[in-house]
Structure 1
Amino acid sequence: MPHLARLLHLADSALPTGSFAYSYGLESSLTFGLVRTETEFRAYLYSFLQQAVGFELPFITSAAHLAEAELASLLTEYDAQLLTPALYQASLTQGKNWLKLLATFYPEAGLAELGRELAQRQLPAHFVPLFGLSLGKAGFAVADIQATYLHLTLRDQLSAAIRLGFIGPMAGHLLQHDFYEIFENLLDAADIRPYTEATRCTLLLDVAQILHDDIYSRLFQN
């Protein structure tokens, strides 16, 4: 079993995975008044994590112990459900770079061969399913993969809020500390379904992401 330190390394924001500076709709939510107070921001974060548990985690969990024959179906299903063009392109770029990086860290997992297979079959190499698939092949436990993804999701949202000036660094990190208990409760209570039963539960988040391009001046790309 890989050591916890290796997983912490993969969760480091300095890891060069080719990620983009985007807020997943937070910037447009603040701009258009969907989030105005700290209480509303807490509700936003809770909804964001709920959607991650209901939509992303089924794909991550299924991919972590995926049978080879199911790969094309899982990737195309996820591809069909990404509705925001900017996030769609970012997901493909980050997925490709994530797989390339993990292949250098864990050559015994066969990830370089997987990347070539995806390119040959012209399958969409999205970040979320490849996150679960690569870490599963590298030997990490599914529960640790799930918790790490929620950590990344929470951290990135709070980092975006700090960069936007909505909250200060100390308040942001205190909120992150408080929300760890919430996402642990979400994981404990969640019935993680297979990817075929993944659901999107927060329509306003999708609307906010789509409206991002209408912001006059943007800090984030999308």
Structure 2
Amino acid sequence: MPQLARLLHLADSALPTGSFAYSYGLESSLTFGLLRTETEFRAYLYSFLQQAVEFELPFVTSAATVADGDLGALLAEYDAQLLTPALYQASLTQGKNWLKLLATFYPEAGLAELGYNLAQHKLPAHFVPLFGLSLGKAGFVVADIQLTYLHLALRDQLSAAIRLGFIGPMAGHLLQHDFYGIFESLLVSADIRPYTEATRCTFLLDVAQLLHDNIYSRLFQN
């Protein structure tokens, strides 16, 4: 029970990690008419979560159990895979915030020293791999780490949709409740796929993220 309570705390939307500052392409998708109906939004969410499972979760999973000598290669591979400049910078900012926060919560995990070593060796401290790495060092099991990451990805997208006025709060929370039902099927193979087999499967999301800078008035940064 204590571990569950701590994970619930780390998934709290009030935690100052910076995720609520970004829409990850949702705002530009709505602005430029790529999403117009709730049916299209449901399909978008499923694609977004599919990419989280196919691309981000292999890095989260591998980082949670990585040996110190292999960490540099993992971080370099993730760094090379980020194609959108705004998201690249956002990832580094969130990674820095997350590691600082977790180092405060779990001083015994050696995360402050990890942050120092990353800076010393000029390794990119991206949020996704550091999410898995830090929670692994803090003693959480891989399955719970995976589920928490997927929950965060879904929650942040639905929160962005609500703040943008595309859906109402009740509709958003109903969608969140419904999508929990497909988490198990999405996670079936996530625990056995290493980061070297991570794939990007929704390139239209990258296009939407690149279009963000063309929005005249923006609520989110990217």
Q: Deviations over 1:17-76 (max 9, x none)?
A: 244511100111111111111000000000000000000000000000001111100001
Matches within 5 A, 1:1-222: 3-19=3-19, 21-188=21-188, 190=190, 192-222=192-222
| Structure 2 counterpart of 1:11, one-letter code | A
Change (3 A) 1:192 1:203: farther
Change (3 A) 1:20 1:157: closer
**Gap regions ≥5 residues in structure 2:** none
Q: Deviations over 1:94-145 (max 9, x none)?
A: 1011111111111111111101000000000000000000000000010000
Change (3 A) 1:133 1:211: same
Identity %: 88
Provide the rounded CA distance (Å) in 1 between the counterparts of 2:221 and 2:16.
Answer: 18
Provide the rounded CA distance (Å) in 2 between the counterparts of 1:193 and 1:134.
Answer: 19
Comparing 188-197 with 134-143, greater Cα deviation is found at 188-197
Q: Deviations over 1:130-164 (max 9, x none)?
A: 00000000000100000000000000000000011
Q: Deviations over 1:170-208 (max 9, x none)?
A: 000000000001122211355641111100000100000
CA contact (8 A) 1:135 1:145 kept: yes
Equivalent pairs counted in the alignment come to: 222
TM-score by length of 1: 0.97
TM-score by length of 2: 0.97
Change (3 A) 1:113 1:87: same
Q: What value does the CA root-mean-square deviation take over the aligned residues?
A: 1.3
CA contact (8 A) 1:18 1:94 kept: yes
| Structure 2 counterpart of 1:168, one-letter code | G
Provide the rounded CA distance (Å) in 1 between the counterparts of 2:173 and 2:16.
Answer: 23
| Structure 1 counterpart of 2:156, one-letter code | D
